[in-house]
């Protein structure tokens, strides 16, 4: 009966185009109901899938959520878990101990901290039930009610034309020095100063979240140089790809801040399927038809440059700061490959390497060659970023993009 009630709510949400918020705090199915309880689960899952991309779905986990019950939150767009009281897992600690002889606590197995930082199942961690409900409200304030509407406009007295001088100093002079992108570019470009980060503790080498630009809700995707130098790895690719697809489904423009030296090298990444996972992000950006604005801050190397909403996969407005470097790889590595013999036979190899590296930087490691080829729309000063993005977004809000008729694509899952 409870399953039937949930199904009716989901059916009504689809009919009326209203978001769905599910609050989970249950021991699961009644064993004495047998297969009937399993049928109710499946009916709920089916409706979650039907509603995906039609109305926003948010799951708030306030207590236990185990076994088959976990699949409904997993299908929804966002999962909010309450710290210390919420637990999600397929099989509990007792079963795991019996089968594998592993000893693990409820919290370590499926608590908010675990799913927020290790598995990526949870998107937000709340301190208590009240905080979790407020998070769901804040999220709804940023989102449209359904896929046929635009996100709500946020009134602001802050002028779109205000220059942001603070952006002039966020890039270190040393190209190898990391910096904190999340607390600099994203909030400062927002016209409300609000940035709601999603999955903040998982795959921290990429930042995703919601902000405002010219009063419009925008989805922000940004490489984080402070973690793994901003490289894309398996988890970062998955995290960003899912976020991009959500934004595209609900008419939310995507703003990309790029500083990426490439994909993370290593046998663990290769054997874990970085090719397939990296392709998810490429697919998501290429498939998206919402306005896509990209700012290259510093490094844009190799295939990672192509993947991060480049002009080649139909970024609508692509600009770079003067500090940007667009190249197949960094100057040091490129010189070692191109001029290996020349350096080896030089009278002073170190001096020759340094000279060739500087020549490479002047010729290739800058944004002007890419701009001349039409891969960038402009090279702008950092303090102009907010103004230029706001104007571009206003122009692009009414864009229309036709795609070939198809049932659906086959994203490399």
In a domain, 346, yes or no: no
Q: Which of 80, 110, 142 is the last residue of a domain?
A: 142
Q: Is the pLDDT score of 183 beyond 70? A: no
Q: In this structure, what are the phi and psi dihedrals at residue 222, rounded to the nearest 5 degrees?
A: -145, 130
Contact 261, 326 (CB under 8 A): no
Q: Which residue has the higher pLDDT, 184 or 111?
A: 111
106 and 201 fall within a common domain: no
Residue entry with tokens 């571009």: 392
Q: Cα separation of 246 and 249, whole Å?
A: 5
Query: In the structure, what pLDDT confidence band is assigned to residue 209 with cuts at 50, 70 and 90?
Result: very high
Q: What's the whole-number mean pLDDT along residues 338-354?
A: 90
pLDDT per residue over 356-404, tens digit each? 998 888 888 889 999 999 999 999 999 999 999 999 999 999 999 988 9
312-329 average pLDDT score: 96
The percentage of residues in the chain with a pLDDT greater than 90, rounded to a whole number, is 80
Give a yes or no: residue 410 inside a domain. Answer: no
In a domain, 30, yes or no: yes
From the number of C-beta atoms within 10 Å of its C-beta (0-12, 13-18, 19+), residue 88 rates as: buried
107 shares its domain with 194: no
Beta partners for residue 198, in sequence order? 208
Question: Does pLDDT of 330 surpass 90?
Answer: no
Residue 52 vs residue 340, higher pLDDT: 52
Task: Give domain status of residue 336, yes or no.
Answer: no
Are residues 138 and 178 both part of a single domain? no
Instruction: Kindly tell me if the per-residue pLDDT of 185 is higher than 70.
Output: no
Residue 191 confidence (pLDDT) above 70: no
Tell me: do 169 and 138 sit in the same domain: no
| 249 and 283 together in one domain | yes
At residue 314, the pLDDT reads 96
Helix/strand/coil (H/E/C) assignment for every residue in 220-262 = EEEECCCCHHHCECHHHHHHHHHHHHHHHHCCCCEEEEEEECC
- The confidence band for 182, taking pLDDT boundaries of 50, 70 and 90, is low
Judgement on whether residues 28 and 135 belong to the same structural domain of the protein: yes
- Checking if the pLDDT of 188 tops 60, the result is no
Kindly state whether residue 257 falls inside one of the protein's structural domains. Answer: yes
The predicted structure's pLDDT at residue 402: 87
229 belongs to a structural domain: yes
Contact indicator for 75, 56 with CB cutoff of 8 Å = no
Q: How many structural domains are present in the chain?
A: 2
Whether residues 64 and 190 share a domain: the answer is no
Q: Write out pLDDT tens, residues 258-283.
A: 999 999 999 999 999 999 999 999 99
pLDDT digits over 98-151, tens only?
999 999 999 999 999 999 999 999 999 999 999 999 999 999 999 999 999 999
Which H/E stretch holds residue 126? strand 124-126
- Give the residue-averaged pLDDT of 316-325: 97
380-395 burial, b if ≥16 CB within 10 A, otherwise e?
bebebbbbbbbebbee
Catalytic positions are 67-68, 303-304
- 194 and 133 within one domain: no
What values do phi and psi take at 156, rounded to 5?
A: -145, 145
Average pLDDT in the chain: 93
210 and 86 part of one domain: no
pLDDT on residue 184: 52
Mean local confidence (pLDDT), 232-236:
99
Under the banding of pLDDT at 50, 70 and 90, the label for residue 288 is very high
* pLDDT band per the 50, 70, 90 thresholds, residue 163: confident
User: Looking at the predicted structure, is the pLDDT value of residue 175 above 90?
Assistant: no
The answer to whether residue 155 sits within a structural domain is no
d(CA 351, CA 367): 26
Range of the domain at 22: 2-142
pLDDT in tens, 50-78: 999 999 999 999 999 998 899 999 999 99
Is 149 inside any structural domain?
no
Specify whether 37 is located in the same domain as 75.
Answer: yes
64 and 15 together in one domain:
yes
CATH of the domain at 232: 3.90.226.10
Same domain, 10 and 128: yes
Q: From CA 217, how far away is CA 191, in angstroms rounded?
A: 10
């Amino acid at each position: 009966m409870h399953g039937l009630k949930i199904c009716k709510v989901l059916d009504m949400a689809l009919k009326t185009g209203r978001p769905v918020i599910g609050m989970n705090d249950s021991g699961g199915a009644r064993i004495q109901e047998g297969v009937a309880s399993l049928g109710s689960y499946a009916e709920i899952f089916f409706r979650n899938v039907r509603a995906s991309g039609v109305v926003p779905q948010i799951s708030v986990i306030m207590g236990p959520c185990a076994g088959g019950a976990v699949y409904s939150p997993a299908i929804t767009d966002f999962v909010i878990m309450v710290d210390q009281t919420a637990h999600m897992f397929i099989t509990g600690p007792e079963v795991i101990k019996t089968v594998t002889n592993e000893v693990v606590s409820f919290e370590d197995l499926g608590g908010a901290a675990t799913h927020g930082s290790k598995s990526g199942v949870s998107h937000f961690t709340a301190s208590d039930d009240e905080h979790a409900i407020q998070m769901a409200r804040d999220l709804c304030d940023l989102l449209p009610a359904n896929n046929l509407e635009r996100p709500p406009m946020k009134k602001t007295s802050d002028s779109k034309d205000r220059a942001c001088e603070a952006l002039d100093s966020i890039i270190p002079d040393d190209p190898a020095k990391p910096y904190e992108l999340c607390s600099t570019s994203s909030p400062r470009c927002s016209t409300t100063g609000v940035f709601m980060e999603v999955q903040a503790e998982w795959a921290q080498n990429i930042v995703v979240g919601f902000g405002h630009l010219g009063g419009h809700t925008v989805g922000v995707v940004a490489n984080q140089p402070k973690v793994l130098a901003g490289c894309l790895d398996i988890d970062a690719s998955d995290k960003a790809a899912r976020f991009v697809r959500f934004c595209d489904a609900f008419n939310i423009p995507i703003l990309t801040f790029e500083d990426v030296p490439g994909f993370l090298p290593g046998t663990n990444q290769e054997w874990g399927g970085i090719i397939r996972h990296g392709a998810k992000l490429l697919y998501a950006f290429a498939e998206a038809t919402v306005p896509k604005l990209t700012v290259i801050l510093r490094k844009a190397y190799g295939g990672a440059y192509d993947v991060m909403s480049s002009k080649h996969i139909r970024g609508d407005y692509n600009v770079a700061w003067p500090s940007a470097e667009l190249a197949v790889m960094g100057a040091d590595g490129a010189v070692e490959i191109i001029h290996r013999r020349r350096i080896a036979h030089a009278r002073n190899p170190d001096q020759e390497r340094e000279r060739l590296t500087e020549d490479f930087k002047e010729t290739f490691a800058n944004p002007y060659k890419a701009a001349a080829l039409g891969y960038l729309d402009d090279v702008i000063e950092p303090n102009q970023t907010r103004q230029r993005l706001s104007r571009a977004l206003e122009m692009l809000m009414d864009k229309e993009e036709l795609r070939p008729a198809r049932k659906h694509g086959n994203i490399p899952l």
